[in-house]
Structure 1
């Protein structure tokens, strides 16, 4: 597939994934304005711990929150990817219920436990049973008008910034309206260089997809970008319909480097993408360079993505935006509609029987 053949791409993209990806700045703006307008009782600001229940794309906000703000949060925060809340959750806990569709069974199960323990409750959703539940609580219940694909993973602006807006309003994190507006301006300008109209010769996302579509992309990142890397790995699977991984520095330096020797055939398919940032801790910047050296010495191909924005929040959004387009182009090169998730749908259907 020619990535500059816009008409052919649009014919394949029957679910309007490209339109949704291009609307990320508008998703962020809507999520921030509406989410930050939420009014909370004073009791919510006195929570002793925060637990966020969410699955898949609906958990991106929690992962990015932990990566960006864990070191400044004054109370513990935990992400639940399952049916049950931790035993310590009680009436002094603040439980955020996160489900784009509002029908995620694991999140609904956690909601029942939160009510049974009389916790503080908030959440982010666009509808379903969860929207009915959250009507009684201060929450961000949104109309996903800037996500015509209706795919949660492509409505990432809603799920990430919606949660951050609520936590900012509660004064648990320091994220301001000027910061968010600056981020929107940056990614709006950046999007012009990545979208369908941008020629492959000038489009880094298209070029990376061309390089990666016949291999196994392995994203390598550090510290504050771990949450954003998760929000790329999942769409490699769901959108690109391709196997992909991510590893974090410094953790990978304690095991992965010794696992690159065998099987030899893996070296034909593994392709490491190093995400570089001048905002990493200095020691991690050094580790990234040394890690790339080790990977190349093992005969494995590497690529670099260099983030350009000025602050950590914007770099996280910059990487998510890049990942959205990169995984979209993977799907196009794999000659498949990026939106449907037939195996996930099959699994859910069988699970109900």
Structure 2
């Protein structure tokens, strides 16, 4: 698909660097208060991934645990000394609205990131800090705005040591490497062919990135994708590789970064040797950039581009998510 610029989703992926910095600047306009014992991000799908990425980026420095809650309720330990940030791009995600209301009842400190909807209205009535991001995007394509805003709130809450210069550096890396990564995504899509994509993370930083790959390939390419993480994989999934037979037609994409432990790298080498014959191909992909933020986002953008390339090769429109919308309609009737 290289050379075709008429794909709306591709253009939204191209805009991620701009959206990231814009989201950060928007988020700097709100002061959510401190997270004394935990930062909890409640959200679902394309909105929730921002929280998972934050947890990965801040894993080596955050003074408090960062939890991602993707359910109607919140963990019992979340209370008055916790900061809960509710993220719903539409503002109408029922699980997120439920988690938001649970946090209010418990007296948690609260902040909201959304483009509008019921969540924005309820937060405004309760005088809860609200970051309003631009509307009109598929939630999964609003990652730059949502994650950028969350970075700003996490910095304000003293959970993340970050400056605007750090965000600019990440945005610049994504913009300058975009065309190179787009061509690389095209090669990866051709190498995958009709095989099953399986994405392995190798660190806390790359774990949410592998999840993002899985979600984007499922939604954009309408193609089933599996993800897992090393070294945990080596204690269970390694045994089942190759069964059923369809798994033998899998292409393993393994994401590595500077924080990948040397023993995990050794495990990966042995894993690929022990299980040879249970997969069709294996590709190791290294993160680019200097900071943890840059490294995470470099692999995020590559995965997003791969999902668009796969959609093109499968001749499917990456925008519609018909089954998700149908499920929402059925849930609304009950």
Work out whether 1:167 is the aligned partner of 2:154.
Answer: yes
1:151-203 deviations in Å (ceiling 9; x for gaps): 111111122222121101222111221111111111101112244xxxxxxx1
8 Å CA contact 1:53–1:59 kept in 2: the answer is yes
The Cα of 1:105 is off from its aligned counterpart by: 0.4
SS in 2 for 1:45: coil
Work out whether 1:80 is the aligned partner of 2:69.
Answer: yes
8 Å CA contact 1:96–1:122 kept in 2: the answer is yes
SS in 2 for 1:6: coil
Q: How does 1:286-297 map to 2 (within 5 A)?
A: 286-296=266-276
SS in 2 for 1:323: helix
Work out whether 1:24 is the aligned partner of 2:16.
Answer: yes
Work out whether 1:54 is the aligned partner of 2:46.
Answer: no
8 Å CA contact 1:95–1:120 kept in 2: the answer is yes
Residues matched between the structures, number: 330
Corresponding residue for 1:187? 174
The Cα of 1:299 is off from its aligned counterpart by: 5.0
Q: Any gaps of 5 or more consecutive residues in structure 1?
A: 196-202
Q: How does 1:276-291 map to 2 (within 5 A)?
A: 276-291=256-271
The Cα of 1:5 is off from its aligned counterpart by: 5.9
8 Å CA contact 1:98–1:124 kept in 2: the answer is yes
8 Å CA contact 2:47–2:140 kept in 1: the answer is yes
1:100-151 deviations in Å (ceiling 9; x for gaps): 111100011112212222221102111111111233222321124xxx6x11
2: CA distance, partners of 1:255 / 1:63: 23
Distance verdict in 2 for CA 1:24–1:279, change over 3 Å: same
Q: How does 1:321-336 map to 2 (within 5 A)?
A: 321-336=301-316
Distance verdict in 2 for CA 1:156–1:297, change over 3 Å: same
2: CA distance, partners of 1:263 / 1:105: 36
Distance verdict in 2 for CA 1:93–1:294, change over 3 Å: same
Work out whether 1:138 is the aligned partner of 2:129.
Answer: yes
Corresponding residue for 1:199? none
8 Å CA contact 2:84–2:111 kept in 1: the answer is yes
8 Å CA contact 1:275–1:305 kept in 2: the answer is yes
Work out whether 1:39 is the aligned partner of 2:39.
Answer: no
SS in 1 for 2:275: helix
Q: TM-score, normalised by structure 1?
A: 0.88
Corresponding residue for 1:200? none
Of 207, 210, 213, 1:226 maps to 207
2: CA distance, partners of 1:301 / 1:143: 40
1:254-288 deviations in Å (ceiling 9; x for gaps): 11211124333431x21101223233222222223
2: CA distance, partners of 1:85 / 1:299: 39
Distance verdict in 2 for CA 1:98–1:298, change over 3 Å: same
2: CA distance, partners of 1:250 / 1:193: 30
8 Å CA contact 2:26–2:131 kept in 1: the answer is yes
Corresponding residue for 2:114? 125
> Which structure is richer in relative contact order (CA contacts within 8 A, separation 6 or more)?
1
Q: TM-score, normalised by structure 2?
A: 0.93
SS in 1 for 2:276: helix
Distance verdict in 2 for CA 1:262–1:85, change over 3 Å: closer
Q: Which runs of 4+ in 1 moved over 3 A?
A: 297-300
8 Å CA contact 1:296–1:302 kept in 2: the answer is no
Work out whether 1:112 is the aligned partner of 2:101.
Answer: yes
RMSD across aligned positions (CA): 1.8
8 Å CA contact 1:50–1:95 kept in 2: the answer is yes
1:75-96 deviations in Å (ceiling 9; x for gaps): 2332111111222332222111
